[in-house]
Structure 1
């Protein structure tokens, strides 16, 4: 029996457009980039702790270029790819790699089990994958605001996200011999809902659903803003959380 194709939840073309827009927005002095900065720092800390010095590395999704620069400085040969130059749901060219790092990318592919299997197949015998994604515990205040915006018939506006347990099962399903999934929380302060949405767009984290809902109307947007402001502290700031999941898997 032929296997069914995975449901088309995300649009790769919308992801590419969002990435291009983020690169333009990064020219502004106050553009946000804290998600990737945090992920890059975490990966470098892990490699230093493990005293890992990979020869060939594939870095996916780091549009800051910081990770590749650091790895090249340590003597690694590094290839950089993003959603516009690599379809993670297809076999990965250029293999084998000693290390593959994917940042803020795998949480927006339609066939995540298949993508993980392709990445595993692209590793050498002792190769390792480190993949950081925005996890299921992220953006609780934004999610409540979107539900409040359309209380009768809410449209699907927020991405489905992977939790820790599901991530571990996915690594096993992709045949990684050893796997570790851990999470951490990144808390960011916002004065307005508009600034939160702007930060997401700065970082290429805007909506990429295949079935894009229409923009919120004026009344719905006001309901969303009111719901968001209800979470403000005594200083008028909303402390929003991003859960960062890091998936680590070894081929052998």
Structure 2
């Protein structure tokens, strides 16, 4: 493997020699550079396979620390039960919203109601998760268009599919500058997520809430029941 001195590296990279030393020390500390203590010192990169394993190990350690910290934070709960009933949170970005929706669906024990306003939210991971739901969990999927409904029937055969009668789900009836409804998810009638998609940028924003008596969830149950035909269980608060 090739090696070089600080002077040689400086000439090749057109980086001042002092900056080369700084960079080499950082890479050495990360286990990515070997140093030969000769005069002048020689530097060389570790083999690619070793560098890959080193970086993977460092990355996994950071993820584990982050996961542990987030779990610890999750244990901190408010003592105000009344406030919990009114909690509403927001999320930005399709990846974060899809992850939260996945987590809510994973906790379902009785019923998942998903109303899809945009074909963009009907991703392969979501389809796979819905198809793998426990057979004892009811799955109801509403759509704002015939094309999405046909896709749901074709790709999620276990779902009870319906074409929603909620006018605000039909994008062709909305002003072009208004955000389109992305998804409206209601799990076990006690956890809700609703998102909108910016028609100009495609950015997705969402709010979510939990609690059987949360006012937002009560409203969501009634809104969904208005868009569902012959789905009496949804009308029960």
TM-score between the two structures when normalised by the length of structure 1: 0.25
Point out the structure with the larger helix share. Answer: 2
Higher relative contact order (CA 8 A, sep 6+): 1
Say which one has the larger Rg.
2
TM-score between the two structures when normalised by the length of structure 2: 0.26
